[in-house]
Every structure is written in C-alpha cells, then in structure tokens.
C-alpha cells in the first residue's frame, strides 16, 4: 500500500549552520513526538545535503532530498550538480518539476523527462511536481495541463520504473500565496491523477503511488487535506522552515 509522506522544501533558505540546526531539531522532534509510520523527507539547498544525510543515516522515517539535479551524470556544466553526485552523499530523493524551476529556469516537460531518467538511473526517487496556473484553472484547462505534464515527463517510463516516483500536485496559484486549494478541490485533482496513472500504468501502480498536495499547507489546514482518500501527504514550503509548524503538519496525518 502507498506511503504517507510529508516532504519539506526549504527552497533557497538557511545558511549552513542554521540549516543543520533546524534539521537536528526536526529529527529530535520526530523521534519524540511522531507515532505513525509517516515518511518525512527534508529537501534543503545542496550545501546541506551531505551533513543532513549523515544525520538521517540512523533514522527510519526521516530522509533527505535535493531540490533539483542536472540531467547529465558529469561534464562541462559549470554550476550544476548531477543525480550521481547527489546520491553519492547518501541522499535518496530529488524534487523535479517544481513550478519555480519551470517558471524561472524554463524547465520543460521534455527536459524534466531527462532529469527523471537521470535520477532513476542513480537510484534517486523523484518527487515529481505537477499543477496548473490560476489562468489555466480559470479557463478550466487544469485537467488537460496536468495530463500533459504527466504524459510528456513520465509516460515513457516502464511500470517498474514508475514505482519509484512520488507525485506532488501543486496548484501554482497556491504556492507561497496563502491561498490553499480546498480539500475538495485538491481531492478532485488527486483522484483524476490516480485515474490517469491507472490508465497508463495499471491498477497496482495507481494504488501504490503516493500523491502529495502542495500549496500553502499549514498546521491549520493539513488534517482536512490529508483526510481525503487520494491525498497521501504534503509537499510543504514556507511551513517547513519552522520546526513546530512542520511537526504539527506531520502529526496532522492521522491515517499513519
Ligand atoms: C512549495 O514550494 O512546494 C510549496 C508548497 O510552498 P508553500 O507551502 O510555501 O506554498
């Protein structure tokens, strides 16, 4: 059965010392307070990955993820970091397709398909983000957009490869805006995504894929969102930078 997952996306925040301090605090709080079997994944900037992966080594339910990777294993790509390098420090996950990468760095579905391939080849599990802009929702084209994102970036995979993918539905209009999709709005899209996955990869893949919700999720709205049948956790931005808020979101998962 699919896993319940809470992933934190720190984005470009936290200097090294503050970040390691925050992660240590999160590890201690999860050990002291979390009783369920939720998986916690924290995705910091690259500089923290090595130190945090060391701290996570002895933890069953806490792992570390990167926020991006380059599609090549190595080469003359100044400033870039590959999936091969990321996994070499003990990291298990990588966020791909975040709307900020799509918007500010022009990442297309075609490029993301290459990044997914590189991540999988190097034993990193992608947390693959999909979602519509406000204009796309207002023009009722959100289902088509999401289907297209899935088709172009993931539908070349074999079912056995797809089993390593975590999906995150993140309506772009809800990211960092304080606007959250209502639990019913989110559930409607999550159910649509699961149906699409079933059509492409079969019933077992659809039942087993974790689909996270992301977009201004906080300790107040988390439990209502996570109570929905097809919402298997959250990808948390702003609230993952405060240990108390992040823990309360993790604990809001009462299906664990
Ligand atoms: C995100 O960046 O993936 C995100 C969901 O951000 P926030 O929770 O701040 O809306």
Per-residue pLDDT of the chain (256 residues; tens, 9 = 90+): 899 999 999 999 999 999 999 999 999 999 999 888 899 999 999 999 999 999 999 999 999 999 999 999 999 999 999 999 999 999 999 999 999 999 999 999 999 999 999 999 999 999 999 999 999 999 999 999 999 999 999 999 999 999 999 999 999 999 988 888 899 999 999 999 999 999 999 999 999 999 999 999 999 999 999 999 999 999 999 999 999 999 999 999 865 4
Spatial distance between the Cα atoms of 238 and 167, rounded to a whole number of angstroms? 19
- Tell me the whole-structure pTM to 2 decimals: 0.97
Largest interatomic CA distance in the chain: 48
Residues contacting residue 38 through CB under 8 Å, at least 6 positions apart:
4, 5, 6, 61, 233, 250, 253, 256
Query: Which residues sit with their C-beta closer than 6 Å to ligand 1?
Result: 9, 170, 175-176, 214-217, 235-239
Q: Which residue's CA is minimally distant from atom 1 of ligand 1?
A: 237
Task: Report the candidate in 245, 207, 213 with the shortest Cα–Cα distance to residue 227.
Answer: 213
Whether 152 is catalytic: no
- Give me the catalytic one of 48, 70, 98, 190: 98
Spatial distance between the Cα atoms of 99 and 105, rounded to a whole number of angstroms? 10
Query: How many CB atoms are located within 10 Å of the residue 89 CB?
Result: 15
Distance between Cα 218 and ligand 1 center (Å): 10
Distance between Cα 182 and ligand 1 center (Å): 15
User: Is there a contact between 107 and 70 (Cβ–Cβ < 8 Å)?
Assistant: no
Tell me what pLDDT residue 176 has: 83
Could you state, in order of their start, the residue ranges of all structural domains in the chain? 5-254
| CATH class label, 5-254 | alpha beta
Q: Which residue's CA is minimally distant from atom 6 of ligand 1?
A: 237
Tell me what pLDDT residue 116 has: 98
Tell me what pLDDT residue 1 has: 85
Task: Report the candidate in 42, 44, 129, 121 with the shortest Cα–Cα distance to residue 87.
Answer: 121
Tell me what pLDDT residue 256 has: 40
Spatial distance between the Cα atoms of 125 and 62, rounded to a whole number of angstroms? 14
Distance between Cα 11 and ligand 1 center (Å): 9
Task: Report the candidate in 239, 256, 255 with the shortest Cα–Cα distance to residue 247.
Answer: 239
Q: Which residue's CA is minimally distant from atom 2 of ligand 1?
A: 237
Q: What is the dihedral of CA 23, 26, 32, 34, to 10 degrees?
A: -130
Q: How far is CA 176 from CA 17, 70, 139, 187, 250, in A?
A: 25, 25, 22, 20, 19
């Amino acid at each position: 059965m699919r896993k319940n997952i809470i992933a934190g996306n720190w984005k470009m925040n936290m200097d090294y010392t503050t970040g390691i301090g925050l992660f240590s605090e999160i590890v201690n709080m999860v050990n002291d307070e979390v009783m369920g079997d939720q998986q916690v994944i924290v995705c910091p900037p690259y500089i923290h990955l090595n130190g945090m992966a060391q701290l996570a080594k002895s933890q069953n339910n806490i792992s570390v993820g990167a926020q991006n990777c380059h599609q090549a294993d190595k080469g003359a790509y100044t400033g870039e970091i590959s999936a091969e390098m990321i996994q070499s420090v003990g990291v298990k996950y990588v966020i791909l397709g975040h709307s900020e990468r799509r918007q500010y760095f022009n990442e297309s579905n075609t490029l993301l398909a290459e990044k997914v391939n590189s991540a999988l080849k190097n034993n990193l599990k992608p947390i693959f983000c999909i979602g519509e802009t406000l204009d796309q929702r207002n023009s009722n084209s959100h289902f088509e957009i999401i289907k297209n994102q899935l088709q172009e970036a993931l539908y070349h995979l074999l079912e056995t490869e797809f089993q390593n993918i975590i999906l995150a539905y993140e309506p772009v209009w809800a990211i960092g805006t304080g606007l959250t999709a209502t639990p019913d709005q989110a559930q409607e899209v999550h159910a649509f995504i699961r149906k699409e996955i079933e059509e492409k990869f079969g019933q077992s893949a659809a039942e087993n894929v974790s689909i996270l919700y992301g977009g201004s999720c906080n300790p107040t709205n988390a439990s209502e969102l996570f109570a929905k049948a097809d919402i298997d956790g959250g990808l948390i931005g702003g609230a993952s930078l405060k240990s108390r808020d992040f823990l309360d979101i993790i604990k809001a998962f009462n299906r664990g």
